[in-house]
A and B are shown apart, each in its own frame.
Chain A
Amino acid sequence: MHSLGKPSMEAQGGPEGKQEKKKKSKNVKRYWEGTLEKEPGSAAPEPKKPKEDEVAGVNVAQKRKKKKKKNRLQEQIAAPGKELISGKVDPFPGPAPVPPEKVKKFERGKKPVLSQVSNRRLKHELTTLESKVELAKKQAARFDMLLPEEAGFLEGDEGEDTCTIQQQDIAEAVDITSGSKYFNLVLNQFGPYRVNYSRNGRHLLLGGRRGHVAAIDWNSKQLTCEMNVMESVNDIRWLHTENMFAVAQKKWLYIYDNLGVELHCVKKFNDVLRLEFLPYHFLLATCSATGFLQYLDISIGKEVAAICTKSGRLDVMAQNPYNAIIHLGHHNGTVSLWSPNLREPLVKMLCHRGPVRALAIEKTGTYMATAGLDRKLKVYDIRSYKPLHTYLIPGGAGHLAFSQSGLLAAASGNVVQVYKDIHLKPPKQPYMTHALRQGVHGLQFCPYEDVLGIGHGEGFTSMLVPGAGEANFDALESNPFQSKKQRQEWEVKALLEKVQPELITLDPLKLGEVDFLTMEQKHQEKVERLGYDPLAKEKFEPKHKKKGRSSTGNLLKRKKKVAHEEQRVLIRNALQEKEEHEARQKQSEKTEIHVKKSTLDRFHK
């Protein structure tokens, strides 16, 4: 990373450094300089023949002028922007430096080691590419500073816990628009509600157990549609835009438009309990009471995959936003990971000793939180599948949700608790709590807003959670202030950029890797066909030298110099590291010794 910072630094101090060097080369320190104590520079340009005064003088003057001009030119070349008419010097020349830590944020993958590239052309290409990549990184880091909004969290006074602060207090304290985001919808007729926000956080979908479905522009509190489907509703989900949503009803899966008109009844999807929508793939993933995990491509209306999970009723599902893998929680305490391309789970992990009740995955796809019937809440690192923290929650958590900024909301019974940085370190207390009258049935943070939507037995509550939403939205990605035209354009674009379901893998970077096995196989076939290995590394043949310098001994020596170069590099590096490590250790030991030196230390061997 340090190398990244360098170029800009060079650009800064480059010209000055050059000048200094020049000066240094001019007056080398001699031992007599101290005694003479005169400026050698002032005497140097004087003419050689003093007695040819006038003519010589003119010549000298001319010469001096020429020299000056030359100097000036050189300076101009060396330091553009240094010499202004006013004589002032730019104190901060060159572009502003970018802190390397910020650049590191945009680091992607490992750089290829250029020293190992033997092909000159390839080396050149790679170096140019690398320079471009560096530039891109730096630019990105530079632009990152331009993000205007900052996320802030609720901070209590001394001795005051943030979790004791009531929603009403917050709503009163904040500005009117923010305060209006705390509201309750009392809908006590149609049973506990499931909740879903659209991707840009503008629209809210409510689905009551007893058939009540409503779509609301929740900011303006305008109802777009409301109906009763006259069937029990298991789950609801927005599709790619707020023009369409899917409802998992008692028997089948239905798709409605924003006016509540039934568009499709997908009879291939029966007894669906949970829905997930993968926005980049246009896939609607469903899991059913019969143990089927099904994928519906909503752009072409086709069932992409129907997988029998063979693990009973599936009512816990979450998607990993990083790699579009579906996580399912089972009643035997396991969580399984699925892609539409494989009939078996990619990974199966034992998370709880009782059934898994809820699942949530963080935005970056690094952390997964699970809650089980054993009243435990566990946080896993899904990259390594290792548990990070285990918590015991009173009553256990029935619903979990991660916010964009990494807050975790856990609903146990009628209480919703929001935890901060739960994946980093065990918190002492929840960040916020909110008690409701009835049990929670649906939980989701509103994207780009500091709001947590809670669906419960008595309707819907929009709860204020400061710092929950992403402060800076990417309008090209999902724009909360989208106009109709923009939405239409975005839809077309998104459809054009749709990712095929075959590309869903655990490691989304796998597409950038070479299919090694096939490559090997192909290569072997080629070798068999040709009778030789075209990619085999050429054996080093030492050049023939004259005058007896190509003796066998010499040849051997030269061969030895080149032999095992790659390994040598590795070994060298390893040794260096080891040495450094040892030195560090020694130093630390020394310091330790310095620290605790008692009279008894002399008995230590």
Chain B
Amino acid sequence: MRDEDRGPILGLRPRRIQKTAYVHWVGKVALGKSYLCSRMKPLLAMGDGEDDFFVKEYDMSASDDEGGSDDERKHRKLLEAISSLDGKKRKKMAERSESSAQVSEFGVSSEGAGEKIHLLELMKPIKPSSSLATVKKQLNKLKTKKTVELPLSKQETQRIQREVAYEKTSKAVTKWDRVVLQNRKAEQLVFPLNQEGPSSKPIEEVLTNWKARTPLEQEIFNILHKNKQPLTDPLLTPVEEASLKAMSLEEAKLRREELQKARALQSYYESKARRERRIKSKKFHRVLKKGKQKDALKEFEELRKTNPQAALEELQKMDKTRIVERMSLKHQNSGKWAKSKVIMAKYDLEARKAMQEQLEKNKELTKKLEIVSESDDEGEPEEDTIPDFVNEVQMTKEGPNPWMSGKLSRDGKDSLAEVESQQPPVEMDEGKKSEDEEEKELSEDEMLLQEFENIRRLRKEQEGQYEQPKEEQTGCSKEIASEIVEERAAEYNLLFQRLAEQGQRSQGKRRSKELHTTSLELADNCPNGRKEQEKVDELPPVGEEGPLLMERLDRTRTIEEVGNLAGEEWADEELQPGLPAKEEQKSTEKKLTSEEPQKKNKKLIDPSAVLTVNSMLLRAPVLPTAVEEEDEREEDQKMIIQEAFAGDNVIEDFLKEKRNVQNASKPKDIDLTLPGWGEWGGTGLKLSKKKRKRFIIKAAPAPPRKDQRLPHVIINEKRDIAVAAHQVNELPFPFNNRQQFEGSIRTPIGTAWNTQRAFQKLTAPRVVTKQGHVIEPISEEDAFQKTSQKVKPAFELNPQKAQIKRARRNQPRKRTQKQRKA
């Protein structure tokens, strides 16, 4: 690094000088840090880095043994060199790679290094005198001058020429970019390009350019003119025009001046206000505010003296502001400022004060305004207006009524305990009679509440929480103490008894269901018992439902109803009014029947099964008398239906089929076990667990079936290859999203689905050529005439939108102009 800086002087014997230089440097390091630092900074700043500098130094100092007689001279030179380092121009010197005593004739020899005169030395005296600058320059030039370069090779010149030409042409071509882009974007191109179609002028334009020519027209227009009727411009009636004329110039001028003044004033005030608002000083604002307040007070005082009515109004206004403030949460210590103050308040007195102030203000604001009324007593009438129990509610936890505490639905046990602990003092405090009275009132309320509570509980328990209340019950019974509580507990007990009963009942239901399944099996075995009844009813579906219905409480009713139904169907033409309810019943029946297969495989059948839909009887004024021939063939319908339902269970079969299909579609495990390997082989032997684990590869679970939630449906999930052959299986070019492509072809474009115009637009060809016309390449004139006016595709389907687009395009430009102005 140093060598480079030094320039040609040191170039003579670079090595040695270097060494000495570093020795010197080392000495300096020893001298003192401060000096070194001050000297080194510029050097280091120039250099690549400190590291290599120090490394070099080490090397040199280690190998240095030559330091001889000419030390001083060299030292001086070095100093000079270093001083010259500050110079602005430093030349890089070619690095010397080989070490030799004799340097080639083109370079410089190392001998007689000190004797040679150098340009730098010559230039030194020149430096201060500015008049010799030109000479210096010349010398500098001389120094840098080289031999004249050879002319470039043919290839190179050609390449350069090509480059330049390319740049030029590309520049020339870029102006076409927009045109090309526009044409590419255009929905339709009509060739030859610059055709002028039959331009349709807007009718108004035609009308406004129209002139009266025939005598009749002229006459009419004369009359119109005479009557001062507006002919072309309906905006200004003659009266208006007259009024416009009537205004004198002076007046107008005056008015204009006024306006100008006002405008100026306004802008002035606005700017002032803005300036003030922008001042950040809090003190300033505080002072300003206080000043304003004072002013307002003064004004108010004056007003009161002069105009009491206005003062009153003012007062009302103030009151209103107070109300507003009261409504808002401005002084509730919830703001940002207040929160910060709360934190500070511990340590800062002022902050505490400020907080207190605000609190006071808040109190002041939120305090209910005392209405100055005729009566002096304020408390009583107020209390009178409000019903008692409201006050009691406000008393909250101390109050005797735990129900009022607002913890109704939650643990009754706790509230009871609370009541226990809190009631004795209340009783002690108040007289017994009053307490009793209260109790009566309360008990009424309580009754209501309890009823509510009961209903709520019942609802909850019906949902299936039987266990909890029992626990509660036991907890409750322990803590019966006071009378009220006793009463309540009794009620609770009752309630819980009821609940327990319910629970038992539900359990019973479960049991009965279990029973029912067994009975079902029985019924399958001997289907006669029930069916005889149903035969009478002539309703075959019930035959199947028979055993089920047995378990129901309302079985008899359903059968009755069925009988009714059958009677209605076959005999009566009119229906009993109670039909809908019965139908509901029927639906419940059906639900039950659907539950039957549900038990057997819960996965398959949802509660929302198919056969649960209400079946409604459609009645008709005419009933069939003759039976179809088909029916004749299947003469005894009843028998046939019984056959159908006795032997084959349609639903069962269907479910079985569905199960089979599901199993078939499930991915199968891969079994890699070899029988007999590592264990005993033979028939009837089970695979060991270890082997099973290791050699049976479990398949991934199948994706959910489409008919998962449709118990009565089997949907085939096999792929339809025939259609797949016609489907698109690669996304066409500009699309990279399936949905986009599908969305783009979702609408039909044929005439069957569209109107003629829409069809033409949807199927308009991209390029239209006119027959018998030569299509010439686009000329510069055409393209840029157009673009200078407005770049427009050759054909626009939606001119309105294009206008909007153009307007949008213009907007940002305007903005930039504004920015420039700003």
Partner-B contacts on A (CB < 8 A): 11, 30-32, 36, 38, 40, 42-43, 46-47, 50, 53, 68, 72, 76, 80-85, 87, 108-113, 116-117, 119, 121-122, 124-126, 128-129, 131-133, 135-136, 139-140, 142-143, 161, 163-164, 191-192, 332-334, 339, 341-342, 344-355, 373-374, 376-378, 384-395, 398, 412-415, 417, 419, 426-427, 429-430, 433-441, 457, 476-477, 500, 502-503, 505, 509-519, 522, 535, 600, 603, 605
A-B contact pairs, 10 of them (CB 8 A): A76-B205, A122-B734, A128-B797, A136-B755, A139-B757, A354-B645, A387-B613, A434-B622, A502-B722, A505-B723
A439 x B626 contact (CB < 8 A): yes
A50 x B253 contact (CB < 8 A): yes
A514 x B233 contact (CB < 8 A): no
B613 x A514 contact (CB < 8 A): no
- Give the chain B neighbours of A191 by CB distance below 8 A: 629
Taking a contact as CB atoms closer than 8 A, the residue among A36, A347, A348 that contacts B258 in the complex is: A36
- Give Cα A76–Cα B447 distance, bound, in whole angstroms: 81
Partner-A contacts on B (CB < 8 A): 185, 187, 202-205, 207-208, 210, 230-234, 243-244, 247, 249-250, 252-253, 255-256, 258-259, 262-263, 266, 403, 406, 408-409, 445, 448-449, 452, 540-541, 565, 569-570, 610-611, 613-631, 637, 640-641, 644-645, 648, 650-651, 653-654, 657, 707, 710, 712-716, 718-731, 734-748, 751-755, 757-759, 761-762, 797-798, 800-801
- Give the chain A neighbours of B742 by CB distance below 8 A: 109, 112, 512-514
- Give the chain B neighbours of A436 by CB distance below 8 A: 626
- Give the chain B neighbours of A42 by CB distance below 8 A: 243-244, 247
Q: Who on chain A is nearest to B657 by CB? A: A348
Which 8 A-B pairs give the minimum distances between C-beta atoms?
A413-B624, A112-B743, A87-B234, A439-B628, A109-B746, A136-B758, A50-B249, A515-B727
Q: A139-B754, A341-B720, A391-B618 are in contact. Are A512 and B730 (CB under 8 A)?
A: no
- Give the chain A neighbours of B409 by CB distance below 8 A: 605
Taking a contact as CB atoms closer than 8 A, the residue among A36, A378, A417, A440 that contacts B628 in the complex is: A440
Instruction: Known A-B contacts: A344-B716, A394-B619. Give 12 more (CB < 8 A).
Output: A42-B247, A43-B256, A50-B250, A108-B746, A339-B720, A377-B618, A386-B710, A394-B617, A430-B618, A500-B726, A516-B738, A603-B408
Taking a contact as CB atoms closer than 8 A, the residue among A43, A334, A398 that contacts B252 in the complex is: A43
- Give the chain B neighbours of A515 by CB distance below 8 A: 724, 727-729
Taking a contact as CB atoms closer than 8 A, the residue among B263, B624, B737, B743 that contacts A111 in the complex is: B743
- Give the chain B neighbours of A512 by CB distance below 8 A: 742, 745-746
- Give the chain B neighbours of A500 by CB distance below 8 A: 726
A415 x B745 contact (CB < 8 A): no
Q: Who on chain A is nearest to B406 by CB? A: A605
A390 x B615 contact (CB < 8 A): yes
- Give the chain A neighbours of B244 by CB distance below 8 A: 42
CB distance from A597 to the nearest CB of B (A): 15
Q: Who on chain B is nearest to A127 by CB? A: B801
- Give the chain A neighbours of B731 by CB distance below 8 A: 514, 519
- Give the chain B neighbours of A503 by CB distance below 8 A: 722-723, 726
Q: Who on chain A is nearest to B408 by CB? A: A605
- Give Cα A163–Cα B540 distance, bound, in whole angstroms: 30
- Give the chain B neighbours of A457 by CB distance below 8 A: 629
- Give Cα A386–Cα B712 distance, bound, in whole angstroms: 9
CB distance from B732 to the nearest CB of A (A): 10
A522 x B727 contact (CB < 8 A): no
A30 x B262 contact (CB < 8 A): yes
- Give Cα A80–Cα B208 distance, bound, in whole angstroms: 12
CB distance from B625 to the nearest CB of A (A): 6
Of the candidates B232, B618, B714, the one having the most CB atoms from chain A within 10 angstroms of its own CB is: B618
Q: A50-B253, A126-B744 are in contact. Are A385 and B713 (CB under 8 A)?
A: yes
Q: Who on chain A is nearest to B741 by CB? A: A514
- Give Cα A53–Cα B644 distance, bound, in whole angstroms: 114
B616 x A391 contact (CB < 8 A): yes
Of the candidates B185, B640, B753, B754, the one having the most CB atoms from chain A within 10 angstroms of its own CB is: B754
CB distance from B711 to the nearest CB of A (A): 8
Taking a contact as CB atoms closer than 8 A, the residue among B259, B640, B758 that contacts A139 in the complex is: B758
- Give the chain A neighbours of B715 by CB distance below 8 A: 346-347, 385
A38 x B255 contact (CB < 8 A): yes
Q: Who on chain B is nearest to A603 by CB? A: B449
B624 x A350 contact (CB < 8 A): no
- Give Cα A161–Cα B654 distance, bound, in whole angstroms: 42
- Give the chain A neighbours of B710 by CB distance below 8 A: 349, 384-386
A109 x B743 contact (CB < 8 A): yes
B641 x A374 contact (CB < 8 A): yes
- Give Cα A433–Cα B622 distance, bound, in whole angstroms: 7
Q: A43-B255, A83-B204 are in contact. Are A347 and B714 (CB under 8 A)?
A: yes
- Give Cα A351–Cα B615 distance, bound, in whole angstroms: 13
- Give Cα A457–Cα B632 distance, bound, in whole angstroms: 13
Q: A133-B747, A342-B720 are in contact. Are A87 and B734 (CB under 8 A)?
A: no
- Give the chain A neighbours of B207 by CB distance below 8 A: 84-85
- Give Cα A132–Cα B798 distance, bound, in whole angstroms: 10
CB distance from B388 to the nearest CB of A (A): 13
Of the candidates B187, B620, B736, B752, the one having the most CB atoms from chain A within 10 angstroms of its own CB is: B620
- Give the chain B neighbours of A600 by CB distance below 8 A: 448, 452
- Give the chain B neighbours of A43 by CB distance below 8 A: 247, 252, 255-256, 259
- Give the chain B neighbours of A516 by CB distance below 8 A: 738
A514 x B618 contact (CB < 8 A): no
- Give Cα A128–Cα B797 distance, bound, in whole angstroms: 9
- Give the chain A neighbours of B755 by CB distance below 8 A: 136, 139-140, 142-143
- Give the chain A neighbours of B449 by CB distance below 8 A: 603
CB distance from A440 to the nearest CB of B (A): 7
- Give the chain B neighbours of A513 by CB distance below 8 A: 727, 742
- Give Cα A128–Cα B648 distance, bound, in whole angstroms: 62
- Give the chain B neighbours of A349 by CB distance below 8 A: 710, 712-714
Of the candidates B452, B619, B622, B762, the one having the most CB atoms from chain A within 10 angstroms of its own CB is: B622
- Give Cα A172–Cα B449 distance, bound, in whole angstroms: 70
B618 x A80 contact (CB < 8 A): no
B651 x A518 contact (CB < 8 A): no
Of the candidates A53, A387, A436, A437, the one having the most CB atoms from chain B within 10 angstroms of its own CB is: A387
Of the candidates B187, B208, B249, B752, the one having the most CB atoms from chain A within 10 angstroms of its own CB is: B249
B718 x A344 contact (CB < 8 A): yes
- Give the chain A neighbours of B623 by CB distance below 8 A: 394-395, 415
CB distance from B21 to the nearest CB of A (A): 39
Q: Who on chain B is nearest to A146 by CB? A: B755
- Give the chain A neighbours of B751 by CB distance below 8 A: 476
B620 x A433 contact (CB < 8 A): yes
B613 x A439 contact (CB < 8 A): no
- Give Cα A126–Cα B725 distance, bound, in whole angstroms: 27
A514 x B727 contact (CB < 8 A): yes
A437 x B247 contact (CB < 8 A): no
Q: Who on chain A is nearest to B593 by CB? A: A353
Taking a contact as CB atoms closer than 8 A, the residue among A50, A131, A139, A514 that contacts B738 in the complex is: A514
- Give Cα A346–Cα B718 distance, bound, in whole angstroms: 9
A136 x B408 contact (CB < 8 A): no
B628 x A398 contact (CB < 8 A): yes
A441 x B629 contact (CB < 8 A): yes
- Give Cα A140–Cα B332 distance, bound, in whole angstroms: 63
Taking a contact as CB atoms closer than 8 A, the residue among B616, B641, B713, B728 that contacts A373 in the complex is: B641
- Give the chain B neighbours of A30 by CB distance below 8 A: 262-263, 266
- Give Cα A535–Cα B738 distance, bound, in whole angstroms: 12
A87 x B249 contact (CB < 8 A): no
A414 x B620 contact (CB < 8 A): no
CB distance from B126 to the nearest CB of A (A): 43
Q: Who on chain A is nearest to B573 by CB? A: A394
- Give Cα A140–Cα B754 distance, bound, in whole angstroms: 6
Q: Who on chain A is nearest to B655 by CB? A: A350
Q: Who on chain A is nearest to B728 by CB? A: A514
A439 x B739 contact (CB < 8 A): no
Taking a contact as CB atoms closer than 8 A, the residue among A125, A386, A412, A427 that contacts B624 in the complex is: A412
CB distance from A514 to the nearest CB of B (A): 5
B729 x A522 contact (CB < 8 A): yes
Q: Who on chain B is nearest to A75 by CB? A: B235
